[in-house]
């Protein structure tokens, strides 16, 4: 396991990369680990109400560029991930999770009836069901943070991107009618030598300004 210093050094090293070296690609084994970090992300109830689109097609990336505030990271990075969240939650989504738990853990689905009822009463028919997309979008941000940290630990650069037009992304990525909408994106790869932002000191408030022990 990594030591505390290794983790903190990795987080200190990372920054929102502005210029990627388009000639450098993330090796297959590292990318497989990063994909797995997405799959292993925790979510509310374990429902995983999202899809991650790995956009590698050059023409598709070029089409996304003008709807990404012209940020060249979209076309120059090694891997471009678009995080999409469910627009609604249905009984079938809860049934799918219960069936998966039953299969993986070898327990009867019927034994999870109380849990099934809880999820149905919250994310389908209850409070979160009324704001399903907003709730699912928050789960996307958990995955975003998880992937960024995993990338930093593995020495892979990344740039989170909220500077995009979700509706246009949805059209280009053909998400209309799928039950998913674009939330945020992450460009990953390796920083270019000329990216001036790589050498700037990281600006954060003091620990005492952000963390209070109660």
For position 185, which CATH number holds? Answer: 3.40.109.10
Contacts of 39 (CB under 8 A, 6+ apart): none
Look up the domain containing 93 and give its range: 4-210
Total-model pTM? 0.97
Query: Tell me, what's the pLDDT at 62?
Result: 98
Task: Centre a 10 Å sphere on the Cβ of residue 111 and count the other Cβ atoms it contains.
Answer: 12
**In 25-72, alpha helices (H):** 28-39, 58-64
Q: Calculate the dihedral angle through the C-alpha atoms of 17, 18, 22, 25, rounding to the nearest 10 degrees.
A: 10
Q: How many domains does the chain have?
A: 1
Q: Which residues of the chain have pLDDT under 50?
A: none
- Whole-angstrom Cα distance, residue 117 to residue 127? 14
Q: pLDDT tens for residues 125-157? A: 999 999 999 999 999 999 999 999 999 999 999
Query: Tell me, what's the pLDDT at 28?
Result: 98
Residues making up the chain, counted from first to last: 214
Query: Phi, psi (5° rounding) for residue 186?
Result: -140, 125
- Whole-angstrom Cα distance, residue 71 to residue 2? 34
């Amino acid at each position: 396991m990594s030591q505390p210093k290794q983790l903190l050094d990795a987080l200190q090293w990372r920054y929102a990369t502005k210029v990627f070296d388009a000639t450098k690609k993330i090796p297959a084994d590292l990318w497989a680990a990063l994909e797995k970090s997405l799959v292993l992300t925790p979510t509310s109830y374990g429902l995983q109400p999202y899809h991650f689109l790995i956009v590698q097609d050059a023409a598709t990336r070029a089409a996304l560029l003008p709807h990404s505030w012209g940020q060249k990271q979209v076309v120059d990075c090694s891997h471009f991930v678009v995080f999409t969240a469910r627009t609604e939650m249905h009984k079938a989504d809860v049934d799918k999770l219960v069936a998966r738990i039953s299969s993986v853990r070898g327990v009867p689905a019927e034994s999870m009836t109380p849990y099934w009822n809880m999820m149905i009463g919250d994310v389908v028919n209850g409070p979160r069901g009324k704001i399903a997309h907003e709730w699912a979008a928050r789960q996307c941000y958990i995955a975003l943070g998880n992937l960024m940290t995993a990338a930093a630990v593995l020495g892979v650069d990344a740039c989170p991107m909220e500077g995009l037009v979700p509706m246009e992304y949805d059209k280009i990525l053909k998400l209309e009618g799928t039950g998913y909408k674009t939330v945020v994106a992450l460009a990953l790869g390796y920083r270019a030598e000329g990216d001036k932002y790589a050498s700037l000191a990281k600006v954060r408030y003091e620990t005492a300004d952000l963390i209070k022990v109660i």
